[in-house]
Amino acid sequence: MNDQFPIIFMFCFLIIGIMTSTITKSLNVHEVRSLNSMIDDEFERFLVLESENIRFKNLLVREKEAAN
């Protein structure tokens, strides 16, 4: 048993290292996906606001032309 202790000890550290690395990578992927989702939401909001700005600008131009 004493002869196998260093091997078991190293094996446990190897398994813990692999699990930690895997968990960290999966958390990073989740974080990147949530950031991408937030960016997509902000971009959609920007597109809506931009289309509203264009619509208001066109209305102002039409009203100005109608007044002249």
Q: Identify the domain containing residue 26 by its residue range.
A: 20-68
Structural domains counted in the chain: 1
Q: How distant, in Å, are the alpha carbons of 6, 9, 14, 27, 29 from that of 18?
A: 18, 14, 6, 14, 16
Judge whether 13 lies within some domain.
no
Say what the pTM is. Answer: 0.51
pLDDT at 2: 66
Judge whether 46 lies within some domain.
yes
pLDDT at 18: 92
pLDDT at 26: 87
Judge whether 3 lies within some domain.
no
pLDDT at 1: 56
With a cut of 70, say whether residue 59 has pLDDT above it.
Answer: yes
